[in-house]
Structure 1
Amino acid sequence: MMARRAGRVAAPVSSGLAGAAAASEGRRAVATGATSASGGTAVVWFKATDLRLHDHGPLSKAHAAHSHVVHVMCIDPRWFGASPTGFAKTGFHRARFLSESVADLARSLAARGSSLVVRASRPEVALPAVAAACGASAVYAHSEVCSEELAADRAVRAALHGLPSPVRLSQCWGNTLHDVADLPFDASSDTPQVFSQFRRLVEAKCKPRPPLPPPPALRPAPPGFAAGTSPHGLAMLPLDGGGPGSQPPHSHAAVRPLPASAVDAVLAGRVPMAWELGCALPPGMDTSALRPVAPPAGVGLPPGVALASGPGATSGGAVPPDAPAAPAAPAPALSARQVECGGLRDPRCAIQLFGGETAALARLRLYLWDEDRLREYKQTRNGMAGQGFSSKLSPWLAVGALSPRQVAAEVARYERERVANESTYWLLFELLWRDYFRFACIGWGSDVFRLAGPKRALDPGRGWSRDPAVWGPWTRAQTGYPLVDACMRELTQSGFMSNRGRQNVASFLARDLEADWRVGAEWFESLLADHDPCSNYGNWTYVAGVGADPREDRYFSIPKQARNYDGHGTFMRLWLPEVAGFSPEQLARPQDYPQGLDVVRRRAKLAFQENAHLTDEVAIKRAVAKGRYWVREIHATHALHKYRSIKKRYY
């Protein structure tokens, strides 16, 4: 959930994988019903990455092996601190999506006669308290990969072991298409460093396991454990000294507690909303563009939300790419509470994101079956405007409201019942990318969060700047390049950005602005509803040239990308009303955009100053040609001529 700057953690991960592999064998017995309840009480620890009932190994194992089960979700205050650059680690959009996902899980458990205990506390504080209160002998949870999540697991294990009656932490692998135990290599040391090699090995020797169904019947909590439940299915328990400000004996970490509003919500039997967790709206968000948006059919309205009636209300199922832009008349800025409680969202966004397993399965059904879009996925996946151009399942995969194996099973059924083609394969191909980054991060450890990345090498010719004057316009969608600014504005307004947009804005920040790529990764981590540390940081290292990309100096030309993927300017005009009168070519070439011309001039001046000491023409050519986008895009063609023409024209 948070940005990392810790040391390498490959060794602890490796030891954890041995237990995960052994536990995965137990899952097979669970799936076939070979394990029967043996009595006693278990706790299922739901995390921010597995908020579902289907294909949930710890849930299935606990209900098969115990006569009583308690379900717990801990909202960790460490998720809501500040990143090294100073951004909110979990921003408003991601917090709202998470809150909705937890609330949906609580409703699903309540519908099956069970409940969810939600605690606004660190898991190493809350889980031992709940385990002691219900007399549990085991806590079941999924295994982790990244440093902060692993640290939380170790803290929980130590706290459970330190109880008067020690409680074991049983973990198993999950949340990937392939199980770690099925890989044809040791993930902690031998994961191929190039994706194509990984793909060939896995496709040749692995097959995804079928998803586990939800337990046929949920075991009850032990008698007398819960004093009662709220209408939302949350167990109403006192904090018993385990509030967010308390410290377990083994921990000396200073953790800022969550706001009192979050604790009050939990005590009242509600899942805290984003505003109650202290999440403010993203800087620069235009609240005048927001409208009440109802969730898709079959998806419940999040608790605490009351949609305003009127002509501005829209459905969350499908928003057309030509949705109205922001009104011309200025409107008072709204607070995070007003936006969230009013169900306000930007109707221009490619998809309206509602958290939870119910919404995830509805989206999967809509994309594959109702609209039959999977058959053309490969051809449309690089679109930028409209909800149907790609699956957009990543937000639900990120919070675990949807299992990748469930997606694979539905794709297989689609291939049997409708069509099997390159597009159906390509959706699984994208899930393989997700697997690759997760397994690769096991071996990379915290290198994936360092400036030099998994390559452990930096190009000395690049600036890697952390100066806000360099990256600030990028975060504010004020670079002067319409394609970049439109993507960044959609992110600010909605918590979503297309895959094509992400590649372009990441390349722009890392290659063109020559900023520290981790600034961009932290900004994505804060705002993207589908943030996953392995995929987010892995992709950023890839684009920045410090990751697993076998190509040297991969680069995205923004004008070329604008022409290829938004040739009519539909997406750019949708998010930038100020350029509504620009032609497609003016939108593609930022030199014709006054603000963009200023940026070009500033960057060209910097390029000139950096290379002013060079006298050899060959050296000058190499320096200018090496990623100097600002120079390349000004009219001259020959590298040396570009350099000299800039000097003559502007200085």
Structure 2
Amino acid sequence: MTSTAIVRFRRDLRLHDNPTLVAASDADRLLPVYVVDPRRVGEQAYGGPDSFRYQRTGGHRARFLRESLSDLRERLREHGSDLLVRRGRPADVLPEIADAVDADVLHEQALPTTEERETGAAVGDALAADGVARRTHWTHTLHHPDDLPVHPTVIDDTFTPFRERVEAESTGRDPVPTPDLPPLPDQLPEAGEIPEPLGSVPEASADGRGVLPFRGGESRALARVEEYLWTGDHLREYKETRNGLVGADYSAKFSPWLAAGCLSPRYVASEVDRYEAERVANDSTYWLVFELRWRDFFQFQFLQHGSQQFRREGIRNRTDLDWRWDETAFRRWADGETGVPFVDAAMRELAATGYTSNRARQNAASLLANDLRLDWRRGAAHFERLLVDYDPASNYGNWAYIAGVGNDSRDRAFDVLSQGERYDSDAAFVTRWCPELADLTAVAPDYAREPWTAPREALVEAGVELGVDYPRPMAGLDDRYESIP
């Protein structure tokens, strides 16, 4: 009897190191499918207590996803297969497809957040009603949950103990090779066009000031690994340069492809191992894998704590914090008009490109959550819409961490002014995204980073009138943000 399988791609848009695809390829016939779920694209309620509405997917990620799907389709066709694309709720669409091709089983990626798990379970229930099995595979972390020293639902809530145990007691699995793909089913539905744009979201073009154009797809992901590690030989100094703000190669910038699953973290680690064997092993090579373990940590924390991770009180149930709701203040932060150049540059870069560095993200988040004490969830949701490398666990986990309601009990507030002085000493980042302050650097970079401290004559010489050409710092910040008389 001929067996027919469906492989549903989710956040694993690749052929390399994809155990889901390997398992599905045991069938006699195989149909690859991607479902565009409108609930992930349009405006939705955040949900839960004190909810609000927000747009879930912005133009940069919409473009990146379409490019990733186009690349996946091309790579599948090179292997004698294809990609069927449909729009709708997966629990409605997938049973129809299974019936059309007389499928026996659907293979798909297992994911950690409550919403993703509930969506998968709904698909399983709908398929089971028609006698179709559902098989899931964990494919998007460096360490497989089965290989952890303890079950992921009981790991420590602090990263360092988790990392130390994993490094001492867990061995990562080797990447699996790309399988030979079975032929498509005989009764094949029309492949369908990849929506452009995805739903009602206008795609955003790249801004020339961005650090990279970030084109989606497995092909570009593998090329970026080759460029960063091997052609550019940048890995040897990653730890020293990773806090940079301007330029393509101060950090690896693999995160957009990791988030969409165009790139496997196990493949990255295997390339680091090869780099250490062929070129150099040092703190920088270790640190890149260290960052992959940070990413793993948040994925497993969301398995452990479920929807509590998205609540305002967080996993620490912080009911002692008073969160403000000030729409004007939030919009100034979101639009890069806080009057604090280091944060404004970050927010303008994010809006223009879908990306800003981890250092910039942390400072922007800290100003919103710790200085202005605005509801951190709104900031996280704003990042969800804009980030080309949005990953739910990494994004919301890091925001909760900065806001003091997530992992680690330490105060994570950032001194934004000292951070700007340390990481943007020449104000190159600030003036790249706040060009109205550029002429202040001719007097002193400090004045571009903190224009309220500039003497009147310096402001006049630079043609900057605070409150007109560039905003004064927002109300609610401490007295360090007050103008010198």
Counterpart for residue 35 of structure 2: 74
Pick one of 79, 83, 87 that aligns with 1:116: 83
* Distance (whole Å) between structure 1 residues aligned to residue 438 and residue 480 of structure 2: 27
Q: State yes or no: 1:570 paired with 2:428.
A: yes
Deviation at 1:39, TM superposition (A): 4.2
Deviation at 1:187, TM superposition (A): 1.0
Deviation at 1:222, TM superposition (A): 2.2
Pick one of 154, 157, 161 that aligns with 1:197: 161
Counterpart for residue 147 of structure 2: 182
Deviation at 1:173, TM superposition (A): 1.3
The answer (yes or no) to whether the contact 2:452–2:483 under 8 Å persists in 1 is no
Say how many residue pairs are matched.
463
* Alpha carbons of structure 1 residues 458 and 590: separation in structure 2 relative to 1, 3 Å: farther
Counterpart for residue 462 of structure 2: none
* Alpha carbons of structure 1 residues 597 and 141: separation in structure 2 relative to 1, 3 Å: closer
Percent identical pairs in the alignment equals 43
* Distance (whole Å) between structure 2 residues aligned to residue 511 and residue 359 of structure 1: 38
Counterpart for residue 534 of structure 1: 393
Superposed, which structure 2 residues align to 1:124-135 within 5 Å? Answer: 124-135=91-102
- Structure 2 unaligned blocks of 5 or more: 47-51, 455-465
* Distance (whole Å) between structure 1 residues aligned to residue 125 and residue 54 of structure 2: 31
Superposed, which structure 2 residues align to 1:16-95 within 5 Å? Answer: 39-47=2-10, 49-63=11-25, 65-83=26-44, 84=46, 85-95=52-62
Counterpart for residue 347 of structure 1: 208
Say which SS state the counterpart of residue 53 (structure 2) adopts: coil
Superposed, which structure 2 residues align to 1:251-266 within 5 Å? Answer: 266=192
Pick one of 345, 349, 366 that aligns with 1:490: 349
Deviation at 1:597, TM superposition (A): 7.5
* Distance (whole Å) between structure 1 residues aligned to residue 261 and residue 149 of structure 2: 25
Say which SS state the counterpart of residue 439 (structure 2) adopts: coil
Counterpart for residue 100 of structure 1: 67
* Distance (whole Å) between structure 2 residues aligned to residue 379 and residue 459 of structure 1: 38
Counterpart for residue 209 of structure 1: 173
* Distance (whole Å) between structure 2 residues aligned to residue 456 and residue 360 of structure 1: 39
* Distance (whole Å) between structure 2 residues aligned to residue 597 and residue 58 of structure 1: 51
Say which SS state the counterpart of residue 6 (structure 2) adopts: strand
Deviation at 1:512, TM superposition (A): 1.1
Q: State yes or no: 1:218 paired with 2:181.
A: yes
Instruction: Please tell me the residue identity of whatever aligns with 1:453.
Output: G
* Distance (whole Å) between structure 2 residues aligned to residue 199 and residue 355 of structure 1: 30
* Distance (whole Å) between structure 2 residues aligned to residue 591 and residue 167 of structure 1: 65
The answer (yes or no) to whether the contact 1:558–1:588 under 8 Å persists in 2 is no
Deviation at 1:145, TM superposition (A): 1.3
Say which SS state the counterpart of residue 581 (structure 1) adopts: helix
* Distance (whole Å) between structure 1 residues aligned to residue 399 and residue 305 of structure 2: 14
Counterpart for residue 256 of structure 2: 395
Pick one of 508, 516, 519 that aligns with 2:367: 508
Q: TM-score, normalised by structure 1?
A: 0.69
Superposed, which structure 2 residues align to 1:73-472 within 5 Å? Answer: 73-83=34-44, 84=46, 85-163=52-130, 166-188=131-153, 190-215=154-179, 217-223=180-186, 225-226=187-188, 236=190, 266=192, 270-274=193-197, 277-280=199-202, 336=203, 344-460=205-321, 463-472=322-331
Say which SS state the counterpart of residue 410 (structure 1) adopts: helix
Pick one of 359, 376, 384 that aligns with 1:525: 384
Counterpart for residue 458 of structure 2: none
Deviation at 1:458, TM superposition (A): 3.4
Say which SS state the counterpart of residue 274 (structure 2) adopts: helix
Q: State yes or no: 1:631 paired with 2:479.
A: yes
The answer (yes or no) to whether the contact 1:458–1:546 under 8 Å persists in 2 is no
* Distance (whole Å) between structure 1 residues aligned to residue 399 and residue 414 of structure 2: 14
The answer (yes or no) to whether the contact 1:52–1:400 under 8 Å persists in 2 is yes
* Distance (whole Å) between structure 1 residues aligned to residue 270 and residue 162 of structure 2: 21
Counterpart for residue 461 of structure 2: none
Deviation at 1:590, TM superposition (A): 4.7
Deviation at 1:634, TM superposition (A): 5.3
Deviation at 1:635, TM superposition (A): 9.1
The answer (yes or no) to whether the contact 1:590–1:597 under 8 Å persists in 2 is no
Deviation at 1:513, TM superposition (A): 1.1
Counterpart for residue 459 of structure 2: none
1:304-335 per-position Cα deviation (integer Å, ceiling 9, x unaligned):
xxxxxxxxxxxxxxxxxxxxxxxxxxxxxxxx
Say which SS state the counterpart of residue 159 (structure 1) adopts: helix
Instruction: Please tell me the residue identity of whatever aligns with 2:152.
Output: A
Deviation at 1:132, TM superposition (A): 1.1
Instruction: Please tell me the residue identity of whatever aligns with 2:196.
Output: M
Deviation at 1:154, TM superposition (A): 1.2
Instruction: Please tell me the residue identity of whatever aligns with 2:128.
Output: H
* Distance (whole Å) between structure 1 residues aligned to residue 190 and residue 2 of structure 2: 25
* Alpha carbons of structure 1 residues 586 and 632: separation in structure 2 relative to 1, 3 Å: closer
Counterpart for residue 463 of structure 2: none
Instruction: Please tell me the residue identity of whatever aligns with 2:32.
Output: H
* Distance (whole Å) between structure 2 residues aligned to residue 597 and residue 357 of structure 1: 42
* Alpha carbons of structure 1 residues 104 and 117: separation in structure 2 relative to 1, 3 Å: same
Say which SS state the counterpart of residue 319 (structure 2) adopts: coil
Instruction: Please tell me the residue identity of whatever aligns with 1:273.
Output: E
1:106-128 per-position Cα deviation (integer Å, ceiling 9, x unaligned):
00001111111110121111111
Say which SS state the counterpart of residue 354 (structure 1) adopts: coil
Instruction: Please tell me the residue identity of whatever aligns with 1:574.
Output: R
* Distance (whole Å) between structure 2 residues aligned to residue 366 and residue 271 of structure 1: 29
* Alpha carbons of structure 1 residues 89 and 597: separation in structure 2 relative to 1, 3 Å: closer
Pick one of 469, 473, 480 that aligns with 1:599: 473
Deviation at 1:632, TM superposition (A): 5.0
Deviation at 1:549, TM superposition (A): 2.1
Say which SS state the counterpart of residue 136 (structure 1) adopts: coil
* Distance (whole Å) between structure 1 residues aligned to residue 178 and residue 471 of structure 2: 57
The answer (yes or no) to whether the contact 1:511–1:544 under 8 Å persists in 2 is yes
